[in-house]
Structure 1
């Protein structure tokens, strides 16, 4: 019984190690969005922007502060000394004051006090008007949050395009591996056939060597291809956040190819959907808000406050309630504020020019990517035609070779041409799928 259990565990462990992890393109995209470190960093920036926004909102509420102070002195800070003296006694008649005949004696006096003091205070100040800086600051904080979200969306788009690049390149290499393995099998069969002829004395040994040399070449190419697949898997696994790359496998094929017209959009209309366009408009909004924020520094500031003060000095303690208002009017800064306002006007104009320039460049980018898409689609048609012709050529030479009318060298060359044509078609399809993703990205999709 225990033997059966251990055997079952061993089978399960072995299966978990050897079974390939097959992923569709959609699954890979989901993994990339979930685990990509660049997107995680962008998400943290969004969270930080949210905290900035929450902090800006607190400026609408009163600012409450409290303080406490106490001190002890080695001697009193206030010392009073009076000498002894006689104080005239006043009988109520002013005429007798200067010539008084009766006096009251006061001895000398020494007083030392204020050797300690304890104070505590609490104040709350509610801003009534601050030149619009509080509302403008909150708008800037909200705008910053929008910008960080747009940056995240742009990073997300780039990650998805990169995912498609990895995916279709890996799919293409897998197809090439199948092609080279099929070609290797054909050469092995041909090698056996030619070797049989040689052993029967029906052909020369040089023909056997020709096939063997071609097999060696294919084995070398296959080794390079396998190493290339491993390196690509390592990079792809890191991109997806996977620990193990060895069993990574893709399931989608490059069979589904759409014509470029299926995706076409007018560049001048397409840029309206771009996140970059929204970001550039946000940059203009930010400069306008910065101008308002700066202008608020030169406007009056009004606040209302209440407070309480506890004072314990010289054996006397009292509590005082305070209500106050403050009005601050900047005067000397108005001159410099004029130039600062002009500076912000120039920055707004620069942001508008930047939007215009970048919009033109985005239209050029969209047109360029569409040309690349149409070019790769045309390359598929050319590669398909070449493959059809290469296959027909190979079939013809195989028939003439079997009839003894074609040399072995010509047959090997035809087989190599057929394999190259098939590889070229695979490359063209993979490139078209990648160009498809890049073009859709430029459309803001």
Structure 2
């Protein structure tokens, strides 16, 4: 986040230099911006517009909604489910129990034996029962059952059932899934919060980049004015014969270079405004005027980064949205272990159903709808799956162990990140104080050079050196002010204190 020191106007402009094509685009955009919508915005309003329009944040919001509905769907597994199933079947043939008419022998009660005996045809001479060639007795009387009486029309069959299933014990799967989806919803919320913080930081960086370039635009204007005044004075000296044409050409070359570099800074400012407008969800040709463009930032910058010297890492771990998201990820995987374990445990459910059909045979064969209730219980006990369920459980435990290690590694990285950010914030504050002191010296040096030049004790080169030093001091001071603000925002982000 520390910007390089700028020793001259050339280095200043090079820091924001763009390809030639970009300059042309920026020039066109500058002309268009005069006709585009103009807005005056503050840092908070830029943040709000970006949070409302950012597509990635909208995606995160939908992820939160999806996780919420998944949680509600998992809770529904506690409650009984009611389902209906129905269908229709066309059969080509009727169904018949017999292939032909049936003749059934009859019986008569014999009082002597107190039993029913078959009525058999007897030989009139011997009184013995008659037999057929195959050895079967010949009945004297028979009961006729026609084939048509036992033939049923099943060409069109309608059937259906309404079932109710109430889980009783599913091996802990339902409880684990409810907890898993709850943690998934919390994870989605933390990811949304983390994305919002990233957006806020990006907006802040773009915002202060515009403020920095605006300040440097004013600085380059002042520098060009200084060189123009110097050119005017040297020209008068040349006309008076106390300076050479070479001195005038040296100043004019420096002035032309400063004017070219000023154009580059102007183009960089236009492009930076476009980038900020895009982050805010506005058309890129929107002319944004920032509330801090012309504000005195010196006092505000000197009071920033107060948290760089005092923080509690345990509290940081609790506030960081990304670490909380990783923690919820670990909890989700722990519940995944319980889901895998449930496949090795018995499952018990109560089932009730009302089944009906047309035709039906509840009271003889009738071609009309009729049905009946049924209630039962279903128990499933896993016995042997060649280690498949056990291996799934072990894999789930390994994934949980991996997530715990990733969380521990992330905490170490956060600790390093916080330490580095605090150090950079403190260094940015020191750099700002040093550049402020150096700026006062550069102002005095330029004043002395101007006086010496007017008195004739200093040359043109001495004045240009003083002006270059003044430019460098001002540029470094602007960079230091912006660095303090960006370090403050970034430190708040890594500490989990960034509010939006």
Q: Give the TM-score of the pair, scaled to structure 1.
A: 0.88
- Name which of structure 1's ranges 358-367 and 96-105 shifts more when overlaid on structure 2: 96-105
Does structure 1 residue 398 correspond to structure 2 residue 450?
Answer: yes
Matched, 1:384 2:424: no
Partner of 1:433: 485
Aligned residues: 431
Contact kept? 1:60, 1:127, Cα under 8 Å? yes
List aligned pairs for 1:191-340, cutoff 5 A: 191-252=231-292, 253=295, 254-255=297-298, 256-257=300-301, 258=303, 260-266=305-311, 268-269=313-314, 270-313=316-359, 315-317=366-368, 318-333=370-385, 335-340=387-392
1:383·1:424 contact (CA, 8 Å) conserved in 2? yes
- Residue number in structure 2 paired with 1:44: 62
C-alpha contact 1:265 1:443 (8 A) present in aligned 2? no
Q: 1:68 aligns with which of 71, 78, 86?
A: 86
| Contact persistence 1:88–1:100 (CA under 8 A) | no
Q: Distance in 2 between matches of 1:442 and 1:210?
A: 50
Corresponding position of 2:20:
none
2:72 corresponds in structure 1 to 54
The answer (yes or no) to whether the contact 2:317–2:411 under 8 Å persists in 1 is yes
The more displaced of 331-340 and 64-73 is: 331-340
Return the offset for 1:284: 2.4
Residue equivalent to 1:169? 209
Counterpart of 1:103 (choices 141, 159, 174) is 141
User: Cα gap change, 1:198/1:316 in structure 2, threshold over 3 Å: closer, same or farther?
Assistant: same
In 2, the alpha carbon distance for the partners of 1:425 and 1:118 equals 88
Measure how far apart 1:240 and its partner are.
0.8
Q: Distance in 1 between matches of 2:411 and 2:36?
A: 51
CA distance in 2, matches of 1:392, 1:38: 51
Cα distance in 1 between the residues matched to 2:60 and 2:117: 95
Contact 2:304 2:485 in 1 (8 A): no
Q: Distance in 1 between matches of 2:106 and 2:230?
A: 146
- Equivalent residue for 1:371? 423
> Secondary structure of the equivalent of 1:165?
helix
Partner SS state of residue 383, structure 2: coil
2:478 and 2:223 map into 1 onto residues whose CA distance is 15
Match of 2:469 in 1: 417
CA positional deviation for 1:349: 3.2
Q: Which residue of 2 aligns with 1:7?
A: none
Q: Go from structure 1 to structure 2 and tell me whether the alpha carbon gap of 1:440 and 1:97 turns closer, same or farther (over 3 Å shift).
A: same
Q: CA deviation at 1:218?
A: 1.0
More helix by share: 1
Q: Greater shift after overlay, 234-243 or 271-280?
A: 271-280
Q: Structure 2, unaligned stretches of length 5 or more?
A: 1-31, 111-115, 124-139, 360-364
Alpha-carbon distance in structure 2 between the residues aligned to 1:132 and 1:55:
16
TM superposition shift of 1:34 = 1.3
Alignment of 1:2-13 (within 5 A): none
1:355 to 387, 407, 429: 407
1:122-161 equivalence runs, <5 A: 122-161=162-201
TM-score by length of 2: 0.79
Cα distance, 1:209–1:91 mapped onto 2, change above 3 Å: closer
Structure 2 CA distance, aligned partners of 1:323 and 1:279?
45
Counterpart contact for 1:267–1:366, Cα < 8 Å = no
Say which is worse superposed, 159-168 or 186-195, in terms of deviation: 186-195
Give the structure with higher Rg (CA). 2
Separation (CA, whole Å) in 1 of partners of 2:100 and 2:156: 23
Runs of at least 5 residues in structure 1 that lack an aligned partner in the other structure: 1-13
Secondary structure in 2 matching 1:193: helix
CA gap 1:385/1:84 in 2 versus in 1, 3 angstroms: closer
Change (3 A) 1:88 1:381: closer
Distance 2:204 2:310 in 1: 21
1:82 match: 100
Q: SS in structure 2 opposite 1:119?
A: strand
